[in-house]
Amino acid sequence: MKKVAVIAAGQTPFGTHNGKGMKGLFQEAVEDALASVDYQIPLNKTNEVYIGNLGAGGSQLGNPAALIVEHLGLVGVSARRVENACASSGFAFRDAIHAIRNGADMAIAGGIEIMNDLNSGHQRYWLGVSGDTEWERTAGATFSGIYALMARRHMYEYGTPREALAQCAVKNHENALNNPMAQFRKAISMDRVLSAPMVANPLGLFDCCPTSDGASVAILVSEDLVKEITDDPVWVLGSGAATDHLAIHDRQKITELLATRKAADQAFKQAKVNISQIDFAEVHDCFTIAEILAIEDLGFFEKGKAASEVLNGETSKRGKIPVNTSGGLKAKGHPLGATGTGQIVELFKQLTNKADKRQIANASIGLAHNVGGSGATCTVHIMGKGV
Amino acid sequence: MKKVAVIAAGQTPFGTHNGKGMKGLFQEAVEDALASVDYQIPLNKTNEVYIGNLGAGGSQLGNPAALIVEHLGLVGVSARRVENACASSGFAFRDAIHAIRNGADMAIAGGIEIMNDLNSGHQRYWLGVSGDTEWERTAGATFSGIYALMARRHMYEYGTPREALAQCAVKNHENALNNPMAQFRKAISMDRVLSAPMVANPLGLFDCCPTSDGASVAILVSEDLVKEITDDPVWVLGSGAATDHLAIHDRQKITELLATRKAADQAFKQAKVNISQIDFAEVHDCFTIAEILAIEDLGFFEKGKAASEVLNGETSKRGKIPVNTSGGLKAKGHPLGATGTGQIVELFKQLTNKADKRQIANASIGLAHNVGGSGATCTVHIMGKGV
């Protein structure tokens, strides 16, 4: 299997970008990627572009991929939009890997979402209908409600304390203090999380990620081309992807995401590394319970055992397995289609020792975990430096 | 480069499917594909699913790929939606080819659109915003208006007679008489086309494809797996894809689609065949002028010279290069996201000698040409039998 290198990754700040459209915002992410490295990138060698996006937006609602590559000065290049709800750009990244292994010299994988401009799109509507529509939505179950059910069951089965959920938010806000691209750069206390207005019991306001505008991008090249650009790229070691029943009532358990387990299993097999070799991870914490599920399902902790580790600080920057050093969806922000490649940006920054104050010492292998819906779609990617 | 085989292809009838949702409709296309061959297909070996779809619909508007594979009994399998306006499933097919060349055993590429259920989705709205939104749509330019501009300019520059456009519709309706899956199985006369109500001068009602519900699917397998299934599959010989400026005012010419030329160039190079070896073609005739542009841009005829050939019957079933033996978008129907793999269905049927009354004698290489927007996205695929 051909090797795939990631030679740059960048993003816009996640947050509110009043009045900006898809073209300009995506361009900003590409410019940030180009500026993230000290070598020149021959972007005109791009053969394929994959753009993760849930509800389009800005102005171009259908066929946006062509418009975006045109604006990048890459008119003519093969491009498409990839949609898998909040896992859209995780899949865009996966399909870009396929393209490189298939013979492309260079591919761009990115994601974009504009959620805060209510005049221009349907993003919030579409977000609402990315869980199961036939059973869950018609019964009034929103994503916060569905994840609240998972949280309640997890607490019931494993005695998971409410504080362990809250600690994920506290830790992610702390991490985001050092991420200039994060939406919330503001510490929050455990008390504040516990006393916040309730959204869906037991999940309060600070257990839920925000709505965000933003774009993110990763530039992938073949083993042949990378030699002309840099001696020391980041490598894609493994890619895994899976689906699951959309409606959670169809699943055997609601205290795990089976798609995460399957995608992780594929990614680890392909990467030929084991869980103990992972130095840090970006996981899909759309709600705090989702971070607990993720770190268990990925295999960092046994099912039901993550809570105490989280409370002991083992997922903090100084812990056994730093999780969401970027701030995660909770504090970095969650512009749906941009989240998957946004995680790749953090892996790239950590692996190239460019994460500034949030840098983990000796980070050589990282993992990114992106989820769509309430676990219906999932990708896991493992990337490494000097390996 | 690994070889990719297509071992089955099928579709629902294109037309109106009152009350059916995405799951059931896609399943029908898969069942048609499985029934299209006399060998067993181990669908459980599927590693990747690519579903072309513009506006979702039925019920599941976001994250539909997971729901569709769940309904197929393939829960867990990696799947995503691919969106490039009306070229969505052309790109789904291309990305499935990449997956097989990347090591997958089996991949499903398909497309689906539900356009006629106005209660359930946004398809017509999304269709309307798949051309350029910033300049064209705000000025009132619809797709029929944009293609009418192309037609007028083509008539002005090359003396293309109105009748040549009409003849594309007459011929495609004639072809559809023999396609039980076609939306319009009804001959139309030249007079009827010429005297039809005007939509956008010079394009009348019969120069425009209909709105349609439908699904289509192709099953792709690796060279290794195909040996266990059949000795005589259809092979993918070449895949090409390109983009262009979304707004036609940005293009050098509006009498050609540059994306078609670029995609064709790639596909022919990869296939190592030349235009004279193509026995038949399915081209994207969303409007009659689009068929004229396509057969010129693909290289079957010189620019400006297609009209007389069309009027001489050279694109009919008995001509030099039969075009749209299925009935094309005009008469077979155009369920946006399902059109690209719908064309692959026709290639598969012709190449496996299963096109019944519309069968072309000795068809060994066919070409499929799928366009999104007014030429902003395009794929070209070349497939062959016994080659």
Which of B353, B200, B345, B213 is closest to B287 using CA atoms?
Answer: B200
Contacts of residues A188-194 at CB distance under 8 Å and 24 or more positions apart, as own/partner, are: A190/A163, A190/A166, A193/A166, A193/A169, A194/A162, A194/A163, A194/A166
Q: How many other C-beta atoms lie within 10 A of the C-beta of residue A346? A: 28
Q: Report the distance separating Cα B355 and Cα B362, nearest Å.
A: 12
**Strand residue runs (E) in A155-267:** 198-200, 203-204, 214-222, 234-243
Quick: pLDDT tens for A167-208: 999 999 999 999 999 999 999 999 999 999 999 999 999 999
Q: Judge if pTM exceeds 0.95.
A: yes
A318 to chain B, minimum CA–CA distance in Å?
34
**For A246, which of B63, B78, B244 is closest by C-beta distance?**
B63
Q: How far is B297 from chain A (nearest CA, A)?
A: 15
Q: Hey, how many other C-beta atoms are within 10 angstroms of the C-beta on B74?
A: 18
pLDDT (0 to 100) of residue A331: 98
CB contact under 8 A, A102 and B1: yes
Given the residues B86, B208, B209, B378, select the one marked as catalytic.
B86
Closest-CA residue of chain B to A99: B98
Residues of A in contact with B67 (CB under 8 A): 132, 246, 376
pLDDT at A119 over 90: no
Interface contact A101-B99, CB threshold 8 A: no
In chain A, the residue whose alpha carbon lies closest to the alpha carbon of B87 is A63
Question: How many contiguous H segments (helices) and E segments (strands) does chain A have?
Answer: 13, 11
Q: Which of A57, A47, A115 has the alpha carbon at shortest distance from A80?
A: A47
- Decide if A243 and B77 are in contact by the 8 Å CB cutoff: yes
Residue type, A303: K
Q: Could you give the CA distance from residue B260 to residue B240 in angstroms, rounded to a whole number? A: 9
**One-letter amino acid for residue A278 of the chain:** I
**C-alpha pair distances (Å), B96 with each of A358, A376, A383, B149:** 39, 20, 24, 35
Residue of A69, A91, A103 lying closest to B80 (CB–CB): A91
Strand partners, B214: B113
Could you read off the pLDDT of A16-26 as tens digits, one per residue?
998 788 899 99
In chain B, where does DSSP find H-type helix? Answer: 22-35, 64-71, 88-101, 123-128, 143-158, 162-176, 190-194, 223-229, 258-271, 288-297, 306-311, 328-332, 339-351
For B47-84, the pLDDT digits (tens) are 999 999 988 755 567 789 999 999 999 999 999 999 99
Burial class (CB in 10 A: 0-12, 13-18, 19+), B174: middle
- For chain A, the distance separating the N- and C-terminal CA atoms, rounded to the nearest angstrom, is 15
The catalytic site residues of A sit at: 86, 334
Catalytic site includes residue B249: no
Q: Are B383 and B236 a contacting pair, CB within 8 Å? A: yes
pLDDT in tens, B132-186: 877 888 788 889 999 999 999 999 999 999 999 999 999 999 999 999 999 999 9
Mean pLDDT of A26-42: 97
Report how many helices (DSSP H) and strands (DSSP E) chain B contains, helices first.
13, 11
Q: Using CA coordinates, name the residue in chain A closest to B70.
A: A245
Closest-CA distance of chain A to residue B45, Å: 14
Question: A216-267, pLDDT tens digit by residue?
Answer: 999 999 999 999 999 989 999 999 999 999 999 999 999 999 999 999 999 9
Which one of the listed residues B334, B369, B378, B381 is annotated catalytic? B334
What's the token pair of residue B69? 């594979």
User: How many A×B Cβ pairs under 8 Å?
Assistant: 189
Instruction: Determine the residue of chain B that is closest to A54 in CA distance.
Output: B62
CB < 8 Å to B127, chain A: 62
Least Cα separation, residue B377 to chain A (angstroms): 6
H or E stretch covering A124: helix A123-128
Tens of pLDDT, residue by residue over B324-339, are 999 999 999 999 999 9
